[in-house]
Structure 1
Amino acid sequence: MKNLLFLLIVVFMVSCTSNTKDFKSQESTKPNVLFIAVDDLNNWISPIQNFSNVKTPNFDRLAKMGVTFTNAHVQAPLCGPSRASIMTGLRPSTTGIYGMTPDNKIRRPGNLATKDITFLPEYFEQNGYHTMGIGKLFHIHAPDSVFNESGGRVKGFGPYPKKRFVWDGFGKGIRGTHGRTSTDWGAFPAKDSLMPDHQSVNWVAERLDKEYDKPFFMGLGFLRVHVPLYVPQKWFDLYPLENIQTPPYKSDDLNDIPPVGMQINDLPMMPSTEWAKESGEWKKIVQAYLACISYVDYELGRVLDALESSKYSDNTVIVLWSDHGYRLGEKGTFAKHALWETATKAPLMFAGPNLPKGKKIEAPVEMLSIYPTLLELSGLPAYQRNEGYSLVDMMQQDKGLADAKAITTFGMNNHAIKMDKYRYIQYEDGKEEFYDHHSDPNEWNNEAGNPKYKAQIKKMKGFLPKVNSKWDASSNYTFQPYFVEQKKRVNANK
């Protein structure tokens, strides 16, 4: 009996040890996640549009490593609500976060949608990951204690020269009404090492050289290509002015835009296209934007080099995304702030184990899908609160391409839907825009009243959000009078 008891104990201990090893083995096979945000980056990069022969070898490099979505759309054409949507997994129309919201107030008791939401990095921490982050990831950096290890974020979008080069940030805007922007362009500072993004990449590279007893989630938020369009001279030198292309522009393009659309597009603090043409600055602004893209591409290359030389190169999922597009003269201005294609479309790229290499997908998708996609790629359970859907089946098996669509919201009850090669916009007063990209890729002709498209418009209207929450009390956008007035008006009856 004693021998039998001893044998049973030994078998039990071996079994427990084996189970423990299996568990640790399973933990160690979970992929790491490298989560890269680029501020204000439109689709001009070479893997997508290759606008004006832009030089982005490292975006090309990442594209060859995985999947590039050439038709990805943000859930808000403004950094604050766009990033809040990605990090919560909820639509702006669900949360009422339509404007800028302090990081620590995205989740607060007064917001029923977000008060107990789990942010994307937190979900990874809850599932056994060590989380790290630096730079602009949420609107500023991140809510307190979201990351196990935070590198913070340099304030503002500098470095700044003592005097602006061209644009004062006010333009024709009314001081105290429109606010001052960082909009300006020119060669500054003298070297890359003075750029905050360079220091952020140094921080990431140092951590990729360390050992961890858990899989990690690493967030890196680049400040460029956000204005001011300042980078060292060598990046400007890549783009001689005589070779610069300017985007398509039609001076009477806005004649068929509904009143709310015109109010949203009222941006006197930004340069107008007509001013840029008359002053001779248009090509210089485009040159500066391209220079900033190439600078970010260089920093991206440093990240990819650090990853590839680390022990984590074969087991890391990479996602790169931008918080919205950016207009460089299209529809009369230089800004995001719109429900049109050039403001809502932005790069989205995935790479990692079990994903195709060098694949491009043209179907419209949402940045809202980043959260559930990363969970599935990491083998984590789905988070039931996510309003987006995973893109894994689309990337691996081309599933869902025919039914793909993307919804963007700007302010309460103003929505755009991209589906097939059509864009439908409905404003809060019911006024509409409709564009057929087969024949009108620049969205110059509003076909909302054309009987030819009646069935397509009806179909797309069916996808408008059913919930349109009032503005969250902590969310504001004071640069445009329309949003100040809308929040005051719609929240008055709370």
Structure 2
Amino acid sequence: MDRRKFLFSSAGLATATLAGCEFNWLAQLKKEYPNVLMLIIDDLNDWIGPLGGHANTKTPNIDRLANMGTVFTNAHAPAPLCGPSRASIMTGLAPSTTGIYGHVEDNDIKSANDKASQSIFLSEYFNQHGYYTAAVGKVFHKKVADGSFDNYGGRQKGFGPYPPERMKWHDPRTNTDWGAFPESDQQMPDFESAQWLAKQLSTEHNKPFFMVGGFLRPHVPWHVPQKWFDMHPLDELELPPYFKGDLNDVPDIAKAVTELPMMPTTEWAIENDEWKNMVQAYLASISFVDSCVGTVLDALENSQYAENTAVVLWGDHGYQLGEKSKFAKMALWERATRTPLIIKPPKSSGKQVSNRPVSLLDLYPTLIKMCGLPENPLNQGRDLSPLLNKPNAQWEHAAVTTYGPNNHAVKTDRYRYIRYEDGSEELYDHENDKNEWNNVASKNEYKTVKERLIGFLPKENAKWSAVSNYNGNPYFSELTKKALMKE
């Protein structure tokens, strides 16, 4: 029996022996297996320094992490909505497998369908293999599933704190709003989460740990203290690229799927002279949460775990700040699916950049491989270790994002192909059209390209699970209602 199997198979025996023997086993386990610190940032698109998504962004702490690990510049979410995206990442199963296409209560994930019921949450897998697991903040859609972590530091309800009255946008169906509030960082839930993680990292743990921090900003409302707004003067800000006729060449179903009646449009933002204010508020929110990341990184670097801890940072999907006339995620276009992914192995060899298309679904198999744990055969993602060793190695894969049954986006190095449930298509050639302004799906010269990309579409499209719901527009409200009627 090899040393790894011996350590894990000895777990039950160790707990039944004398305290001294148990300590020896735990000490050996702690020495052999690396820790994992995973930082999740809600609604963070590519507006961070390592991805260069916006000229005015200021993210010194995320930049610091990027300088120690591998930055994936072409990483995409399993779904452009936090509920299904996070459920997919934590189960290791695609939305098209579990039928979780909309939001879902944390404790309902495994009751979505038969395949979901067989899943083992990422945190549970680490726990089953001898790890201490701890989390704080938003990890799943709301908090964490009951019993999925040994220790949970909690999360304040909602996305506050909220001012006495809305500042800019008064539709009660959304948290969307922006402006300087509250007075101090100490009043922000993310500040408390960072302090909780820092305390955990200063504590003696007698087993390797899997630790997760789920930060709320830059999720709306874009409310952070004034000092973060001051870092991004309005007269210096650049606006995202925008083409007024952008949606003229997309199919009708694309407009139905992405309709967001509760959200401001770019036209509204222009007419009311609010676009720069919204960009400023989003950038301010990013800079604030970057400071929280810095608090955690400082704590790790000053701890006994600095030399044996992998650090992973990711956002749950992208976000549109005026592109495609949207201020939201909830779409299969680049701005809504692309998100940061940075992986720093326990023994970092410095900064690397990979341009290969990867999915956040790949996190589960990658992390357990990095820590020397046995493969979970249920995982549908791919181990990214080859790209951690050689960032632009041959990679014959694509990243797939799903938004409702049979609605998928396929992203490769060069192309984005979107196929909707009625057969409608979009195709964008990023070599010539990085803003996705020209849908070339109907052009004959791209016929062979489309045929290849179709091969990446999921072969399974599970029925919409009755435990999943989304009522953001009539299209999804109808799907949710039909699922409940068939329950």
What's the TM-score, normalizing by structure 2? 0.93
Q: Distance in 2 between matches of 1:69 and 1:99?
A: 26
The letter for the 2-side match of 1:406 is A
Question: Within 5 A, what are the aligned runs for 1:74-473?
Answer: 74-108=77-111, 111-170=113-172, 180-398=173-391, 400-473=393-466
Unaligned runs of 5+ in 2: 1-19
Cα displacement (A) at 1:399: 6.7
1:410-466: CA deviation from partner (whole Å, max 9, x where unpaired): 011100000121000000000000000011000001100000100000000011101
Query: d(CA) in 1 for partners of 2:238 and 2:133?
Result: 42
Given candidates 54, 57, 76, the residue that maps to 1:54 is 57
1:490 Cα deviation from its structure 2 partner: 6.7
Task: Return the alpha-carbon distance in structure 2 between the equivalents of residues 385 and 20 of structure 1.
Answer: 33
Query: Following the alignment from structure 1 to structure 2, what is the Cα–Cα distance between the partners of residues 463 and 192?
Result: 45
What displacement does 1:53 show? 2.3
Map Cα deviations across residues 459-481 of structure 1 (whole Å, 9 max, x no partner).
Answer: 00011101000111110001211
Q: CA deviation at 1:286?
A: 0.1
Structure 1 residue identity aligned to 2:275: W
SS in 1 for 2:70: strand
Q: Name the CA distance, whole Å, in 2 between partners of 1:254 and 1:463.
A: 25
Q: Secondary structure at the match of 2:277?
A: helix
* Displacement after TM superposition at 1:384 (Å): 0.6
Structure 2: how far apart are the matches of 1:478 and 1:440?
A: 32
Partner residue in 1 for 2:472: 479
1:28 Cα deviation from its structure 2 partner: 2.0
Tell me the amino acid that sits aligned with residue 59 of structure 2. T
Aligned residue in 1 for 2:16: none
Q: 2 CA distance for matches of 1:220 and 1:137?
A: 7
| TM superposition shift of 1:25 | 2.5
Contact 1:134–1:150 (CA under 8 A) maintained in structure 2: yes
Separation in 2, partners of 1:391, 1:294: 29
**Pick from 33, 37, 62: which aligns with 1:34?**
37
**Partners of 1:22 and 1:473 in 2: CA distance:** 45
Distance in 2 of aligned mates of 1:398 and 1:50: 20
Per-residue deviation, 1:403: 1.4
Deviations along 1:220-267, one digit per CA (max 9) or x if unpaired, are 000101000000000000111111111011111101111110001211
**Partner SS for 2:103:** coil
Question: 2-side partners of 1:23 and 1:31: how far apart?
Answer: 13
Cα distance per residue 1:290-319 (max 9 Å; x no partner) = 000100111111100000000000000111
CA contact (8 A) 1:416 1:424 kept: yes
CA distance in 2, matches of 1:133, 1:70: 27
- Asked if 1:71 corresponds to 2:68, the answer is no
The amino acid that maps onto 1:254 is L
- 1:482 aligned counterpart, secondary structure: helix
What's the TM-score once normalised by structure 1's chain length? Answer: 0.92
Alignment match, 1:14: none
| Partner SS for 1:207 | helix
Measured against aligned partners, the alpha-carbon deviations of 1:135-175 in whole angstroms (never above 9, x if no partner) come to 000000111111111111110000000001000135xxxxx
- Matched-pair identity in %: 53
Cα separation, 1, equivalents of 2:218 and 2:483: 34
Alignment RMSD (CA, Å): 1.8
Q: Which runs of 4 or more aligned residues in structure 1 lie more than 4 Å from their structure 2 counterparts after TM superposition? A: 17-24, 489-494
Deviates more, 1:400-409 or 1:182-191: 400-409
- Structure whose CA Rg is larger: 1
Q: Displacement, 1:20? A: 9.9
Residue of structure 1 equivalent to 2:7: none
Q: CA deviation at 1:24?
A: 4.6
Give the whole-Å Cα distance in 1 for the aligned partners of 2:25 and 2:87.
37
Instruction: Give 1:401 shift.
Output: 3.7
Deviations 1:85-121 (A, max 9, x none): 000000000000000100000012x610111311000
Kindly provide the CA deviation profile for residues 338-395 of structure 1, in whole angstroms up to 9, marking residues without a partner as x.
Answer: 0000000000001122444111111110000111111011111111100001111111
What is the distance in 2 between the residues matched to 1:50 and 1:443?
15
Q: Does structure 2 conserve the Cα–Cα contact (< 8 Å) formed by 1:470 and 1:491?
A: no
**How many Å separate the matches in 1 of 2:80 and 2:252?**
19
Give the length in aligned residue pairs: 468
Describe the SS at the equivalent of 2:468. Answer: coil
Distance in structure 2 (CA, Å) of the matches to 1:284 and 1:85: 34
The equivalent of 2:14 in structure 1 is none
Give the conservation status (yes or no) of the 8 Å contact 1:121–1:217.
yes
Aligned CA distance change for structure 1 residues 28 and 330 (closer, same or farther; 3 Å): same
Q: Is the partner of 1:128 in helix, strand or coil?
A: coil
Conservation of the 8 A alpha-carbon contact between 1:67 and 1:355: no
Three-state SS of the structure 2 residue aligned to 1:385 is: coil
Counterparts of 1:141 and 1:49, CA distance in 2: 31
Matched residues in 2 for 1:307 and 1:330: separation?
37
Indicate if the aligned counterparts of 2:356 and 2:392 stay in contact, CA closer than 8 A: no
